[in-house]
Amino acid sequence: MATIETFPSRPSRTLRFPIWQSAYQAVLAEANTEKLFKLVEVAEAAALTRRAELRGNPNHHSERKALDEALANLLLVKKDRLKFG
């Protein structure tokens, strides 16, 4: 079984990429599966939007890597916690 990378809860002002990481952190902190579905949707949308904004820009390598890791973890949340296909 795959593990989901979690991070300690931090205020959004200390996030490296708060544009999308605050939504991602909310997913990792949520225990209620009824709330989790919507939070995953919001986090995925924020991460995918930011990834599209960075497309074609040779800078921001560390943010792109963090986005890829977050999106992979969101997929695990959907499979393991929300029981998606």
> How do residues 25-83 score in pLDDT, each as one tens digit?
999 999 999 999 999 999 999 999 999 999 999 899 999 999 999 999 999 999 999 99
Q: Which DSSP string corresponds to the chain?
A: -----------GGG-SSHHHHHHHHHHHH---HHHHHHHHHHHHHHHHHHHHHHTT-S--HHHHHHHHHHHHHHHHIIIIIS---
In this prediction, residue 4 carries a pLDDT of 52
In this prediction, residue 85 carries a pLDDT of 79
In this prediction, residue 6 carries a pLDDT of 46
For residue 77, what is the DSSP state?
I
The pTM assigned to this predicted structure is 0.82
Residue 23 reports pLDDT greater than 80? yes
Q: Could you state, in order of their start, the residue ranges of all structural domains in the chain?
A: 18-81
CB–CB of 54/63 below 8 Å?
A: yes
